[in-house]
Amino acid sequence: MPAVSAEEGHTAGTGTGRRRAGRPSAAVLDKAGITTAALDLVSRKGYDGLTMAALAKQLEVAPSALYNHVASKRDVLLLVEDHLTSLVDVSAFGSKSWEDAVRTWAWSYRDVFAEHTPLIPVIAVLPVTDAPQTLAMYETVSKGFLDAGFPEERIVSAIVALESFIFGSAYDVTAPGDIFEPGSMADANPHFTAAVRSSAGPGRPADTAFGLGLEALISGLGALRGQAG
Amino acid sequence: MPAVSAEEGHTAGTGTGRRRAGRPSAAVLDKAGITTAALDLVSRKGYDGLTMAALAKQLEVAPSALYNHVASKRDVLLLVEDHLTSLVDVSAFGSKSWEDAVRTWAWSYRDVFAEHTPLIPVIAVLPVTDAPQTLAMYETVSKGFLDAGFPEERIVSAIVALESFIFGSAYDVTAPGDIFEPGSMADANPHFTAAVRSSAGPGRPADTAFGLGLEALISGLGALRGQAG
DNA sequence: ACCTGAACACCGTTCAAGT
DNA sequence: ACCTGAACACCGTTCAAGT
């Protein structure tokens, strides 16, 4: 795979005129360029702005040209997802304690995907075979669990449980601050209303809930270390 | 709000001919009928089949007629979501131990939304004010936590943490069975591959992971009971 | 093999006209 | 107030034609 950046792709037709029909002497598109352009588009316009037409425009090709490199829009989302996974911090596995490594990884993972929640429905059903960076992350995490004394046959379940919590929590970050404000329904729901009113603390509510759940998972799952399956 | 069922709505024009333009003597649509029709459509065709055009057809109206009752398709999804929440089993709060009540509620909640994962992105950002049944569920759960000695100011965070785990886990149920099969990448990722190969157990993998994470959360969060904030 | 350009079968939503 | 019908501004995707 040649290292063609979106920038190069963007300025491939260095001149002014448009490309005429027919196969160009050198391919103007490749997966790496499509990925970079998609990421750039998302950062500027959000996921609503990520359409095949807009992506093609950014790359200065016709929309149909994209289908020589990806089979569908979902394929584009998978390329983006796999790139983002490479940004997740797994460095603490192997250098810190298991608890600290899971903490660092989980917070980083949540932060990355909180900015990209529209990918979550895609990730959840994504076979890892199609996502090499994602697979690499699982490899590092699995080794960290194994080295910490985690029973091998429970590792996948533990990772899935943590990931489920992480993805669900990523949505919370995007929720409006007053999502739990009962408004006119307060009188009919007194216990919940009191709980909401008393729950104000320092920091973002999404961070408080994530920290609470993550520490519970770390201590609960951590208890499995050194046990047989 | 009159109790017009979708059935009645469906057969409102009992005769054969189509309705002519102009306001009908009695309204043929209302929110309850739209909700029932949407649920019926989803159960027959899935969420891909839930379009404003298909919904209108089911109700025997023009698509634009729907906009007299909902502001957007998102509004339709909120109506569906609030109905589904009323199906979640909260009955164990008040009759069983806190642990058993959370277990019953969480499994039921996950099972309901595993069949409706396209709603999850909508739910996560949904202000409770617009969803009375959802608010009623939170009221019951909050009272259960309070009665079990949970500190009031931690209740919302604990519920959010549990919900995040539940929503993330609902996606897992829909994932293909071989989602973690490393395929040709197995050799480059030996620890993860070994973990996947050894993880086969009885029951669905999604259920194993959900059970593992839920028990960790229950014991971790349960430790907060009787403490000050 | 890998582009362009035209076309297809949809979407959600708006709005004037009608009763 | 609440329906119809026509229109608008999009979507993702396919495919023949071109080099």
Residue A89 has pLDDT above 50, yes or no: yes
pLDDT at B109 over 60: yes
The type of residue at A37 is: A
Measured to protein CB atoms, the chain D nucleotides within 7 Å are 1-7, 10-19
Identify the CATH assignment for B25-71 out of 3.30.565.10, 3.30.930.10, 1.10.10.60, 3.90.550.10: 1.10.10.60
If you average pLDDT over residues A76-80, what whole number do you get?
Answer: 98
Query: CB–CB of B189 and A154 under 8 A?
Result: no
| Residue B127 to residue A179, Cβ atoms within 8 A | yes
Output the pLDDT for position B130: 85
Contact B131, B82 (CB under 8 A): yes
- Which has the higher per-residue pLDDT, B59 or B16? B59
pLDDT for A87 beyond 60: yes
Tens digit of pLDDT for each residue in B137-160? 999 999 999 999 999 999 999 999
How close B133 comes to chain A (CA, Å)?
A: 11
For residue A92 the two structure tokens come to: 């603490």
Q: How many CB pairs under 8 A join A and B?
A: 251
Q: Which residue has the higher pLDDT, B3 or A174?
A: A174
Q: Give the distance from residue B172's alpha carbon to the nearest chain A alpha carbon, in angstroms.
A: 6
Among the partner-chain residues A129, A152, A175, the one whose CB lies closest to the CB of B195 is A152
CA distances from residue A103 to A68, A90, A113, B200 in whole angstroms, order as listed: 41, 10, 16, 27
Token pair 């289908």 is at which residue?
A67
Task: Tell me the residues of chain B between 105 and 124 that have a Cβ less than 8 Å away from chain A.
Answer: 117-118, 120-121, 124
State the smallest CA–CA distance between residue A177 and chain B in angstroms: 9
Q: Which of A174, A182, A216 is opposite residue B221, by nearest beta carbon?
A: A216
Out of A141, A168, A182, closest to residue B167 by CB? A168
Mean pLDDT of chain B: 91
DSSP chain A: -----HHHHHTSS-SSSPPPSS--SS----HHHHHHHHHHHHHHH-GGG--HHHHHHHTTS-GGGGGGT-SSHHHHHHHHHHHHHTTS--TTBTTB-HHHHHHHHHHHHHHHHHTTGGGHHHHTT--GGG-HHHHHHHHHHHHHHHHTT--HHHHHHHHHHHHHHHHHHHHHHHS-TTTT--GGGTTT-HHHHHHHHH---SS-HHHHHHHHHHHHHHHHHHTTTT---
Model confidence at B19, in pLDDT bands (50, 70, 90)? confident
- Looking at domain A86-222, its CATH superfamily turns out to be Tetracycline Repressor, domain 2 (1.10.357.10)
Dihedral angle sign, alpha carbons of residues B35, B40, B43, B46: negative
Instruction: State residue A17's pLDDT score.
Output: 56
User: For residue range B176-199, what is the model confidence (pLDDT) as tens digits?
Assistant: 989 999 999 999 999 999 999 999
Q: Under an 8 A CB cutoff, do A155 and B183 touch? A: no
pLDDT at A7 over 90: no
For residue A153, name the pLDDT band (cuts at 50, 70, 90): very high
The answer to whether the Cβ–Cβ distance between A124 and B174 falls below 8 Å is yes
Tell me how far apart the alpha carbons of residues A136 and A121 are, in angstroms, rounded to a whole number: 21
Structural domain boundaries of chain A? 25-71, 86-222
Of A171, A194, A210, the CB nearest to B167: A171
Supply the pLDDT for residue B6: 34
Q: Residue A199 and residue B154: Cβ atoms within 8 Å?
A: yes
Who's near A162: CB < 8 A, 6+ residues apart? A102, A106, A217, A221, B213
* Residues in B touching A153 (Cβ below 8 Å): 195, 198-199, 201
Query: Does the distance separating the beta carbons of A129 and B183 come in below 8 Å?
Result: yes
